[in-house]
Every structure is written in structure tokens, then in C-alpha cells.
Amino acid sequence: MRNTTVVKGAISMETRKLQKTGGSTYIVSLPKHWVTASKLKEGDQVSMTIDNRGLLTLDPTLGTLRPVTTVEVYVEDEDTSDHFLRRLIGLYISGHDEIVIRSKTRIPPDIRKVVRDFTRRVIGPEIVEESGNAISVQDVADHSHLDMRKILRRMHLMSRSMHADAMEALTQDNKELASDVVARDDEVDRLYWFMSKQLSMIIRDASMARKMDVGVAEASFFLSASKAIERIADHAERIAQNIQSIPVERVSGKVIDEMKNYGTKVLSIFDKSVEALLKRDLNAANEVVDESERLRDSGEALTSRIMEQKGKSAVPLALVMESLRRTALYSADIAETAINLEGIH
């Protein structure tokens, strides 16, 4: 026995009578149109997932391979190395499993190098086939086992470490440490691109969302937060670059100490913003937003005092302050994302 009701935003809602068979087993029949559309037959298996609200979800893809999405990209005469790399990263972020690079003639050596650099700069893709005029790059990563929350945490820890080391390089006048900070920015980019691809895969294939234990809306918010963290890492890199340009002649130690203290406060609200996001702590998120506004004002005042100093150090130190202020503002963006997540379950 069944009843069918048309529901706005859905194909239909059906109610079916639960029946008991044997001593302790209950059964319910499945809609024929769903079985047919899912290409199931007698004896096939489906997976059942029960969420924390008691909602039962049937997945017809158990035991089947998710279809591989392949995209081809042709090498054009006007392609520069930088332009072609951007194209590859864009195709990767779009969620494709395989990228086939083709050329009407032999693929130029500089493009081959770009492809190799691409596979080193992103997570998952490996060169699986190569000929004179074609290269096949396939994503071998298992995205379903890589939690977006863990990736966010990893990005946070890497970015805060970059900031802490950059400020240490400033106080100790350590150009070598500053150079190391600059080199670490690529690792954060890799994780951001990976999260971008995960969202594209979730949108393309609903079963991936269940496997990753994250909905499309929640994943979108996580990606927004990861972009803010990626920008925070960029500013850590800029701090390190500006430190490298500071001449031997320096401003007073008092100003350096004030900058170090300011940087410590900035890192503190960065930490708090990520915790608020992952724990969905609205009170902590609001505290971050309020504190970032106070840090913005105090940062502007300190920057003015730095610019009053004489010498060639004033400008790069003022730029360091600007990056610290921007980090505080991006932390507020992460906190606001945590607030916006309240309505997502």
C-alpha cells in the first residue's frame, strides 16, 4: 500500500506501509521508477545511512565505481607557461578526475615542464600516460577519506606557524628564517586548491557528499573560510618578504616590541576564529569580530608611529603592520562564516 504526494522542490514523496517478515525483520518496498533510474536489479546491494536526526538515506552506488570525468585541453601557440599552469589548476579545481593534455604537434618542452610542476603543486594528480603529442594526468587521491574540517585545521596550523616564524624573523633580524617562510606558502595553496576541488566534486556527485560527511552548503562555507586562511598565509609571506628588505639600520627596539605584541594578539584571534568555526561557537565568533575592530584601530595608530621614524626601515615595517591588520580582518571573516553556519545542519 502506498500514497504519493507531489512536494514542491522534489520529484515526489511516497509513503509505504512497513511489513514484518520472519521473527525480527521489517521490510518496505522500493519505488519501481527509482530502482529503474538507479539501474538496479534483483540481488544488487544498496547502502543505508542513518544521520543524527534519524533520517535514512539509500545510496544505489554501493559496489559500483563512480564514473571518471575526463576533460581534454589543447596546447595553443599563444599559451605561455604561466597561462597554461593556470588553465590546469582551473580544470583541477573544477573537479575532473582526469586531464588529458593534447597538441596537434609535439608538446613543447616548456609545456611538459608545466605539467610536471602542476602534478607537484597539487594533491592527487599523477602522470599516467605520456606520448609525443598527449599527456594524461589522473587524480589518484581518495577524496572521501580526506575530511574538509581536517584540511581546514591543517591550513590553520601551517598559516599560524608561518606568521609566528615571520615575526620571530623580525625580532631576531633573521633573514634565513624569513626566506623559509616565503617558501612554505605553496603548501597552503595546495590545500586550498584541494578543498576547492572537493566542493566541485560534491556538487557534481551527491554520493561524494555522503562519503565526505559534509553537505553542499556546509562545504561552501568551509571553502570560504579556507580562502581567508589562504590569504592569511599570503600575508605571512609578505611579512617575510618585507623583513628581507629591511636594511641594517633599524627603528627603535620599543617599536619592534610593540609590533611583536600586536602580532601575538592577531595570532590569538586567528586561532579563536578557526576554533569558533570548527566548534560552531557563536560567542567566540562574535568576540573575534569585536576584537578585530579594536585591533584595526590600534594597528593604524602603531603604523602612524612607525612612519614617523626616520630611516629606510619605516616603509617595510609599515607594510608588515598592514599585513598583520589584514590578518585580523580575515580572522573576522572566518568568525562571520562560523556565525553564518548556525542555520546549517
CATH class given for the domain over 70-139: alpha beta
Q: What is the Cα–Cα distance from 48 to 62, expressed in whole angstroms?
A: 9
Task: Give me the residues of the chain with pLDDT under 50, please.
Answer: 1-11, 63
**Exposure string for 194-223, b = 16+ CB within 10 A, e = fewer:** bbbbbbbbbeebebbbbbbebeeebbebbb
CATH architecture of 145-343: Up-down Bundle (1.20)
Q: What is the Cα–Cα distance from 13 to 16, expressed in whole angstroms?
A: 10
- The confidence score (pLDDT) of residue 52 equals 54
- The confidence score (pLDDT) of residue 172 equals 87
- The confidence score (pLDDT) of residue 188 equals 96
How many CA atoms does the CB half-sphere of 224 hold within 13 Å?
17
Sign of CA dihedral 341, 277, 95, 159: positive
What Å distances lie between residue 69 and 88, 95, 205, CA to CA? 15, 8, 11
Q: What is the Cα–Cα distance from 269 to 335, expressed in whole angstroms?
A: 9
Question: CB-based burial of residue 164 (10 Å sphere; 0-12 exposed, 13-18 middle, 19+ buried)?
Answer: middle
What CATH number should be reported for the domain whose range is 2-59? 2.10.260
Q: What is the Cα–Cα distance from 200 to 189, expressed in whole angstroms?
A: 17
Q: What is the Cα–Cα distance from 155 to 187, expressed in whole angstroms?
A: 9
Task: Indicate the domain borders of the chain.
Answer: 2-59, 70-139, 145-343
- The confidence score (pLDDT) of residue 138 equals 94
Taking the alpha carbons at both ends of the chain, their separation in whole angstroms is: 33
Angle, vertex CA 106, rays to CA 104 and CA 108, nearest 5: 115
C-alpha cell read off for 34:
527509482
Residue type, 251: V
Predicted TM-score (pTM) of the model is 0.79
Q: What is the Cα–Cα distance from 31 to 90, expressed in whole angstroms?
A: 40
Distance of CA 250 to the CA centre of its chain: 38
C-alpha cell read off for 241:
618578504
